[in-house]
Structure 1
Amino acid sequence: MWIQLWEHLWERHRGKTLGAAAGVLLGLIYLICGLWDMLIFVLIVYTCYNIGKRIERGDTPVPIQQFWRWLLDKWRLLR
């Protein structure tokens, strides 16, 4: 049963699975070191999951240009 679940995840959701696994690994390292709390752990897992999801869809992993435009639009509102 578990093997079939992992095969399904690997075949259909490879990017999300790798992203979430990387997030869990990084989060566990952070928790073991004793510096992180649970919210940081969840933030890391969520961020890695979203990056994996973007890669799986064929988008850029981190949309820097889109983020920069958003920041500039917000800055114009403050002027």
Structure 2
Amino acid sequence: MFWKEMWESHRGRVVGVAGGILFGFIYLIAGFWNMLFFALLVFIGYTFGKRKDLSQGALVHWREIGQWLSSGWRPFK
């Protein structure tokens, strides 16, 4: 019952951490620096999952950045 409630309320976080662990294990073979990179991947997965759970949208708004860059740059003058 606990896992079902956890899945329903924190689905994005669970998937994010699982993805981070999966990619971390792929990268994590041996060594201290690899362990730190593994922790970074798990943190990134958790962050993206949390943002999805809270419906906060994208972390980087690529469309706005593209519009800002294209507004100041005219290739055909």
One-letter identity of the residue aligned with 2:15:
L
Deviation at 1:62, TM superposition (A): 1.9
Shift of 1:64: 4.0
Q: Which residue is equivalent to 1:56?
A: 53
Residues in 1 aligned to 2:36 and 2:58: alpha-carbon distance in whole angstroms: 22
> How many aligned residue pairs are there?
62
Give the % identical residues: 40
Query: What TM-score does the superposition give when structure 1 sets the normalisation length?
Result: 0.66
Which of structures 1 and 2 has the bigger CA Rg?
2
| C-alpha contact 1:20 1:46 (8 A) present in aligned 2 | yes
- TM-score, L = length of structure 2: 0.67
- Once the two structures are TM-superposed, the CA of residue 63 in structure 1 deviates from its matched residue by 2.8
Structure 1: state its 5+ residue gaps: 69-79
Is the partner of 2:28 in helix, strand or coil? helix
RMSD (CA atoms) = 2.1
Partners of 1:38 and 1:64 lie apart in 2 by 30
